[in-house]
A and B are shown apart, each in its own frame.
Chain A
Amino acid sequence: MKFWQKIYLFSILTFVMIFNAASVMVIERNHSQMLQQEINNTLSANMSVNSSVNAIIPILRIYDSIDYEKTVLTNIAKEFVDKNRDANIFLEIINDKKKSIYSNADFAMPPNRGELEALQNDEIKYILRDIDSRTLLFTTNVADINQNKYIFTYMKDVTPIYAERMEQYRFFWKIDLGACLFFMIVMFFISKRLTKPIDQMVKTAKVIAQGDFSERVQLKSKDEIGVLAANFNDMAAVVEDKINILERNNSEKQRFINNITHELKTPLTSIIGYANYLRVTKYKEDTFLDGLNVIYNEGKRLESLSSKLMDLILLNEDQFAMTQESLREIILEMEPSLILKSREKQVQIHLECEDCRLWLEKDLMKILIFNFVDNALKASYAQGSITIRAYTREETCILEVADQGTGISGEHLDKIFEPFYMADKARTKSNNGAGLGLSICQSIANIHHAVIEVESEVNQGTTIKVIFTKAGACREVGEWQSFE
């Protein structure tokens, strides 16, 4: 059953029960009050008959005659009945032998009349009886006249009171029906209205389940459902973010794999192509040497690519043991090999290093510096110079490699850290590069919680800064080491 139907049904059930019970109670109470009043009236009428009889008892004592008594009593009764010209009032007088002295009842007296037994003086008994289709109130008392007991029964037809009750019930049913109908209609809209936001959320949840994570519940109310909707939206936003991140990661990975495939297959195609050509055709001597050269060079390219890939994979997986090192010492250690390399291109290398102490993985830091200097050398013109700086700024240590080479144009600048991205494909390939150097640097920087910044101007040169947060690196790595 739907929630709105539940609200609808239960509220109607409750309403019908309470409304009916209350109405029945009111009607019944009303009825019993009227009946009680009627009884009281009847009793007082009985008393007045009784008092008229008592008034003449002294006279009757004087005449001590049963016949006379009968006549007098009959007269009193007649007079009383005449006075109350009400067809609904009856009077019966019987003596103690149950013999009727007077009766104006237009119905047969019931055979068993328990109230007549053991009737005491000064006592009025009353009882309600259904006779034929009428309801009658019997009030009975006894009077002692000259040792004779006379039983007076004053009867009142109370059928109208019962009829009144029936009438009230009939009226009530009509009201009940109308009220219920009205309530049902109102309640239908109320319950629909109340559960509408829930329906809305159900719809939204379905849309989200079908994969549209940007869907949100449009709900502005401040009640619990509004809060739920707001929380639901928050949850959807978190899920959407996560999904987006996953998708982005996934597409990055896919691009990475596509690039690896391309970078692996291109040299392989050349190698296989030339090897097969030399194997199956009648080649000339210079073709043979060309072919061997291609096979050798492409083989070297594959070798360099595979070792770079290995680096990258290791960087993504391993935990590294950090030690406190001085950046300057590391750079000084590398100086001879860097100068050797720069001499080939006739480039000067200048060092301006302060003694920055940092938590580092020494070998990784060497790879990072080497890659940056290598890139700077590749970009440099002959007779140019490269400056390597290490210095402290506020809470950070900065490693800087600046060249005066070709520079990187703006369109490439934000992509150079992507794996396999090559700003100048021909140049990169002629250097056996695969476009992985800077992504390796990026990974190394990440391991050290460092940020890389690049400033470059075409034909002016490039400056790369690696910014180490001193405190961050120390604290995090320090804690991590203490677990070891």
Chain B
Amino acid sequence: MDGNKKILIVEDDVNISNIIKMNLTIVNYETTEVYDGLEALDAIKNGKFDLILLDVMIPRLDGFALMEKIRSFRIPVIFLTARNSVFDKVNGLKLGADDYMVKPFEALELLARIETVLRRYGKGETAITFKAITVYLDKREVTLDETPIELTPKEYELLVVLLKNKNIALTREQFLDKVWGGEYYGETRTVDMHIKSLRKKLNLQDSIRTIYKIGYRLED
């Protein structure tokens, strides 16, 4: 997996900042944490970031004001806020934010949105490697030890979801939702079958772990 994406976390609550950092680290993002607006401004001026997670209510210089100052850097921004008001959303998006997350949020959703925004900026990955497996996202090709492997479209998408959420357990429902879309709701057996065939085809018996009471997790 491409480990070079740098994300700046601007969040004044240390606990929240830490949990975001932990979640981003397990999917191999590199993070920098700052705790107020002015610190963030310094960091943005001196560093190179692929994306900024920006809390609105931060001390010294609030998120909206910071947004104005850093627009010229053209770095994608996702707002984080406790307030769920339309005014805030519109204001944030008008100022050039790419997305908006209301606290409390799920780590998975945050990761998905980060990925979407990065892809929109052409910063998405073109290939993911995991052990001997390489997935070429643009060509939809999968190789194991340089040998192409034939996968059904659903198997391929399931593999991509597993790779992108490496080290994070997803429920069968989440897999269904991400790979098959909502209409297969409840048919969790389908997920089990596809996981089984992926394990076999790509030699992933040990890496795809079954997590009791939750679902599956791809582990290094």
Contact = CB atoms under 8 A, between A and B. Distances in A.
Contacts of A270: 13, 15-16, 19
Interface in A242-290: 258, 261-262, 264-266, 268-274, 276-277, 279-282, 287, 290
B137 interface: no
Given A270-B13, A273-B107, A287-B22, A262 B217 contact: no
B112 interface: no
A425 B36 CA distance: 12
Nearest to B15: A270
Given A262-B57, A262-B82, A279 B104 contact: no
B59 interface: yes
A325 B209 CA distance: 69
A298 interface: yes
A260 to B, nearest CB: 10
B168 A266 contact: no
A280 B169 contact: yes
A269 B102 CA distance: 10
Interface residues of B, number: 28
Interface in A290-313: 290, 294, 298
Interface residues of A, number: 24
Contact of B214 (A262, A277, A279, A294): A279
B173 to A, nearest CB: 13
Given A270-B13, A273-B16, A274-B19, A281 B104 contact: no
Contact of A273 (B23, B82, B168, B211): B23
B169 A269 contact: no
Contact of A282 (B23, B82, B107, B217): B217
B20 interface: yes
A269 B104 contact: yes
B16 A277 contact: no
Nearest to A295: B15
Nearest to B101: A269
Contacts, number: 71
Contacts of A261: 82-84
A423 to B, nearest CB: 12
A272 B19 CA distance: 10
Contacts of A290: 18
Contacts of B16: 266, 269-270, 273
B15 A294 contact: yes
Contacts of A277: 19, 22-23, 107
B167 interface: yes
Contacts of A279: 169, 214
A165 to B, nearest CB: 86
A280 B13 CA distance: 23
Contact of B217 (A265, A272, A280, A294): A280
B103 interface: yes
Contacts of B211: 280
Interface in B40-66: 57, 59
Contacts of A287: 22
B219 interface: yes
B138 interface: no
Contacts of B23: 273, 277
B105 interface: yes
Contacts of B132: none
B20 to A, nearest CB: 7
Contacts of B19: 269-270, 273-274, 277, 294
A289 to B, nearest CB: 13
A265 B15 contact: no
Contacts of A258: 83
A330 B19 CA distance: 46
A294 B26 CA distance: 19
Interface string A189-214: 00000000000000000000000000
Central interface residue in A258, A266, A271, by most chain B CB within 10 Å? A266
Contact of B103 (A265, A280, A425): A265
Given A268-B103, A279-B214, 7 more contacts: A258-B83, A262-B83, A271-B104, A273-B23, A274-B15, A281-B26, A425-B12
Nearest first, the 3 closest Cβ-Cβ pairs linking A and B are A273-B19, A265-B82, A280-B169
6 contacts: A262-B83, A277-B23, A277-B107, A280-B169, A280-B211, A281-B217
